[in-house]
């Protein structure tokens, strides 16, 4: 088993999120340890109360919430990114652990396969 880390750094944009989720679910389907790290505008991906249909997008927060079914439940958010986005953990649809910016490099090093989300 390898430790996969998907780093999600951009806000939702249709196919791009779906393709990240497909790869996340594929790694999980191979019984790998999968973690997700949300940084920069990536935190908006898991904001509650989105209205994606108005932009012709799929409701991807529902897929993020369903990742637990695949045993993907290690979700991390960079504290500074969350502050800059004006959100708090209460605004997010996933139960996340917060990491300070100065912990991110060390955290990434704990993983073997690092992929952009």
Partner 1 sequence: MKFTLQINSSPTAGQSGYYAYRFVCELITAGHQVSRIFFYREGIYHGYRYATPPDDELNFSRLWSALSQAHSIDLVICVSAAQRRGLLHPDEAQRQGKLDKDLADGFRISGLGQMIEASLLADRLIVFP
CB of 15 to partner 1, least distance (A): 7
How far is the C-alpha of 36 from the C-alpha of 78, rounded, in Å? 11
CB of 88 to partner 1, least distance (A): 29
Binding site for partner 1 (CB under 8 A): 2, 4, 15-16, 19, 22-23, 26-27, 29-30, 32, 112-116
Nearer to partner 1, 4 or 75 (CB): 4
Nearer to partner 1, 55 or 114 (CB): 114
Estimate the share of the chain in helix, then strand, then coil, as percent rounded to the nearest 5. Answer: 45, 20, 30
CB of 70 to partner 1, least distance (A): 13
CB of 34 to partner 1, least distance (A): 10
Nearer to partner 1, 29 or 59 (CB): 29
Residue 16 near residue 10, CB atoms below 8 Å: yes
C-alpha closest to that of 3 among 76, 52, 63: 76
Nearer to partner 1, 52 or 87 (CB): 52
Q: Are strands 97-99 and 74-78 parallel, antiparallel or unpaired?
A: parallel
Output the furthest CA–CA distance in the chain (Å, rounded): 40
């Amino acid at each position: 088993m390898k430790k996969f880390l998907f780093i999600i750094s951009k806000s939702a944009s249709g196919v791009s999120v779906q393709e990240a989720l497909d790869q996340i679910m594929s790694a999980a389907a191979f019984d790998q340890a999968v973690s997700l790290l949300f940084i920069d505008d990536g935190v908006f991906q898991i904001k509650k109360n989105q209205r994606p249909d108005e932009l012709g997008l799929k409701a991807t927060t529902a897929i993020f919430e369903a990742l637990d079914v695949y045993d993907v439940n290690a979700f991390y958010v960079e504290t500074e990114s969350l502050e800059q986005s004006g959100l708090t953990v209460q605004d997010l649809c996933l139960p996340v652990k917060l990491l300070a910016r100065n912990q991110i490099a060390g955290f990434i090093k704990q993983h073997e396969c690092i992929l952009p989300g």
